[in-house]
Structure 1
Amino acid sequence: MRQIDVHVKTRDKDAVIRVVKAFKPVDWMIFPVEQHDRALVRIIMHDGRSQSLSDGLQDALRDSRDWRITMIPIEATLPVPEPLEDEEAKANLQVLREELLDDVTRDAALNRDFLILSGLSTVVAAIGLNSDGVAAVIGAMVIAPLLGPILGFALGAGLGNFNLIGKSTRTLAAGIGVALLTAFLLSFLLPINKESHELMSRAEVRLDGVALALAAGGAAALSMARGRSAVLVGVMVAAALLPPGAALGLFIGSGEWTLATRAAMLLLLNIVCLFLSALIVFRFKKIRPRGWIDQRNASRATRINAGLSAGLLILLIVLIVVLDLGSSVDLT
């Protein structure tokens, strides 16, 4: 459930109340406020109807000024409300569009902390890869902040939000760039260890890697859409991006161009799979803009981005099959 507070001018109070009654809230009340000519309407709403109520309130207030809607998740309330009988509403239990957009936009921001975490996680990953240390590689994936820009790109494409797409693209490019540069510099301090299974496996491009990246992106998007913590699935996303990126930097610095090409293909393949699966999940969960014109534009943007991603994915899979990159790397 959610608590939705609507701060409006007194003249707009009746319009808000009509919308609230139409969506059958668990409870609602009006509070007097100290500000002159203002009103506060507080609504307790089932999750399945919260998005519809939010959209209805915004439609009712679109010609008004000086209003604000605040949404707060509720852990529990007594007495326990009656469960939803509307099957469609029960199937629509997900985070509000506005909450999801706020979370993803914040996580996709390019700032100093993001760059520092990208660099530090790459140091840990590169050392772990070169020393065949599984624990170090896993630790690097835990602290890698790469989930945000992937989901930001997919959500931006699903909503037709080109600002979010551009912001996420810059953040992801910066994160991968920092990872490549950090690993490249480390390659001059760490003689490449071709006996390391962890390192050499990142130069193997197999079709099962496609399933891993698709599952990681889909799980991350679904967790965010349902308002669940995406920390653990963020590790899955980092597993698909950080080790190949660190390996690519090490191979380039060591002049191993064949291995570097394979690691680059694995990295690109994982990026495409992560984005495509997240985009499909957001579309399946009906995460879309409020207005029908924006919905039409978002649908077109989704089809274009999904088509381009699917085409690139098919091309990469064909290259894997044709070049037989799924075979074991010759360690000699």
Structure 2
Amino acid sequence: MQSPVQNLLGSLSGEWKLNLETQIPRNDLYKSRIASSRPTLGFFLLLICSAVIATLGLISNSTAVVIGAMIVAPLMDPILSLAFGLSIADNRLVKRSAITVIIGVLTVIATATLLGWILDASEVNREIYSRTAPNLIDLGIAVAAAIAGSFTLTRDRLSNSIAGVAIAVALVPPLCVCGIGLSMGSEVIAVFGRGSVAGLSNQISEGSFLLFLANLIGITVASLMVFLLQRYGSIHRSWRNLLVWLGLLGLLCIPLASSLRDFSIRQNIDAQFATFKAGRVKQFKLTEKNPYLWKKVKLLYSNVRVSQNNATIELVLNAQEGLITQKVIDELHQRIITRARKDYGINEISVNISVIPNQIFKYNFTEGKQS
């Protein structure tokens, strides 16, 4: 019999209770994972369509189109089957899922390469370049998405969430960027606002494929842990598989940690220029000299790129004609280099500064009195 306090709380909360969903039986989950490990005509049709959509979206620099490709992509299913096979130590399921994943990866890269070659893609935009420098943040996203995805598989009521998981982890777009990079020659131009950088062909393919590996390994390890914690598999049977994939995860963290440092440096330098854009000159530590002069200067555009502890900084300034002299530019250039090396330990710095001058025209009109 409930006490008056319990009755009151139940009345106020509408008899709210935590509902623990029932797990899908192991045999049912095993059957679904076997089905997902075997590629079908529908699997390849959706995969090729997803690759086409993602490649065209990347080339046209359309975020919405790339997101649409993530929803269509079926590549996460065999990866979850791979993780389930590792958790129950089913070598046949592991091999079959791994082969399906490999064939799927090659299919996406080949489709993107062919489209990039047909469309003669030679320009790297923001959508493409953003997937060429993965770091530990991307690995964290993959792990969180994998936990959500693998847990969703074990609960019937949560099956509608799998589309959101596919968007979060983004498996196909990095492979499409890799294919686009392979279709480009050595003369590659990356466009950033008003500036451009050449010679990024190797970085495009290698960086984007590293992002896919981060997603693949992160999903596999996290899903393997989820299946083990829910007792679908046994740690006594699958500990070797767990150690191998944890080792791969550890190796992957080495380049990702280095890339995260580059990302942090870029964010800090970007923040410095953001204060200048907002008109807070006193807080803009790179221009402590000539503060009154810099109050009359407008920063139209800034772009910072950091790779392997080397930085490229691009600025576009707007000022009255004759206000910014060569001496002022040299002073600013030296200030940027000094602070970048002192505060962030940058080895090599390339600074590009453009100045757009303003001309002031004055027109005086005097009108006499009429009698």
Aligned ranges 1:61-100 → 2 under 5 Å: 93-100=22-29
Task: Name the CA distance, whole Å, in 2 between partners of 1:248 and 1:260.
Answer: 4
2:138 paired residue number? 209
Residues 224 and 230 of structure 1 are in contact (CA less than 8 Å); yes or no, is this contact kept in structure 2? Answer: yes
Letter of the 1:247 counterpart: V
Letter of the 2:131 counterpart: R
1:249 to 174, 179, 182: 179
- Bigger RCO (CA 8 Å, 6+ sep): 1
Aligned ranges 1:127-166 → 2 under 5 Å: 127-166=56-95
Residues 122 and 184 of structure 2 are in contact (CA less than 8 Å); yes or no, is this contact kept in structure 1? Answer: no
TM-score (norm 1): 0.65
Task: Name the CA distance, whole Å, in 2 between partners of 1:231 and 1:267.
Answer: 24
Change (3 A) 1:176 1:302: same
Task: Name the CA distance, whole Å, in 1 between partners of 2:237 and 2:116.
Answer: 41
Residues 26 and 232 of structure 2 are in contact (CA less than 8 Å); yes or no, is this contact kept in structure 1? Answer: yes
Letter of the 1:281 counterpart: V
Change (3 A) 1:197 1:331: farther
1:302 Cα deviation after fit: 2.5
1:313 paired residue number? 249
Residues 195 and 331 of structure 1 are in contact (CA less than 8 Å); yes or no, is this contact kept in structure 2? Answer: no
Change (3 A) 1:116 1:184: same
Change (3 A) 1:307 1:104: same
2:347 paired residue number? none
Q: CA RMSD in A?
A: 2.5
Match of 2:100, SS state, is helix
Aligned ranges 1:49-68 → 2 under 5 Å: none
2:108 paired residue number? 179
Cα deviation, 1:123-162, whole Å, max 9, x if unaligned, reads 0001111111111111111111112101101111111111
Task: Name the CA distance, whole Å, in 2 between partners of 1:96 and 1:262.
Answer: 40
Task: Name the CA distance, whole Å, in 2 between partners of 1:331 and 1:232.
Answer: 41
Match of 1:187, SS state, is helix
Letter of the 1:310 counterpart: L
**Any unmatched runs of 5+ in structure 1?**
1-89, 289-297
Cα deviation, 1:158-199, whole Å, max 9, x if unaligned, reads 111111111111111111111010001011123436452211
Residues 48 and 107 of structure 2 are in contact (CA less than 8 Å); yes or no, is this contact kept in structure 1? Answer: yes
Residues 70 and 170 of structure 2 are in contact (CA less than 8 Å); yes or no, is this contact kept in structure 1? Answer: no
Residues 183 and 249 of structure 1 are in contact (CA less than 8 Å); yes or no, is this contact kept in structure 2? Answer: yes
For the pair 1:170 / 2:126, whether they are aligned, the reply is: no
For the pair 1:119 / 2:48, whether they are aligned, the reply is: yes
1:287 paired residue number? 232
2:198 paired residue number? none
Task: Name the CA distance, whole Å, in 1 between partners of 2:178 and 2:49.
Answer: 16
For the pair 1:264 / 2:209, whether they are aligned, the reply is: yes
Residues 146 and 222 of structure 2 are in contact (CA less than 8 Å); yes or no, is this contact kept in structure 1? Answer: yes
**Any unmatched runs of 5+ in structure 2?**
1-18, 186-200, 267-304, 307-311, 315-371
1:189 to 86, 103, 118: 118
Q: May I ask how many residue pairs the two structures share in their alignment?
A: 235
Residues 121 and 183 of structure 2 are in contact (CA less than 8 Å); yes or no, is this contact kept in structure 1? Answer: no
1:280 Cα deviation after fit: 0.5
Task: Name the CA distance, whole Å, in 2 between partners of 1:196 and 1:331.
Answer: 17
1:53 paired residue number? none
Cα deviation, 1:2-32, whole Å, max 9, x if unaligned, reads xxxxxxxxxxxxxxxxxxxxxxxxxxxxxxx
Cα deviation, 1:257-279, whole Å, max 9, x if unaligned, reads 22211111111111000000000
Residues 112 and 180 of structure 2 are in contact (CA less than 8 Å); yes or no, is this contact kept in structure 1? Answer: yes
1:325 Cα deviation after fit: 6.0
Match of 1:204, SS state, is coil
1:286 Cα deviation after fit: 1.0
1:237 Cα deviation after fit: 3.7
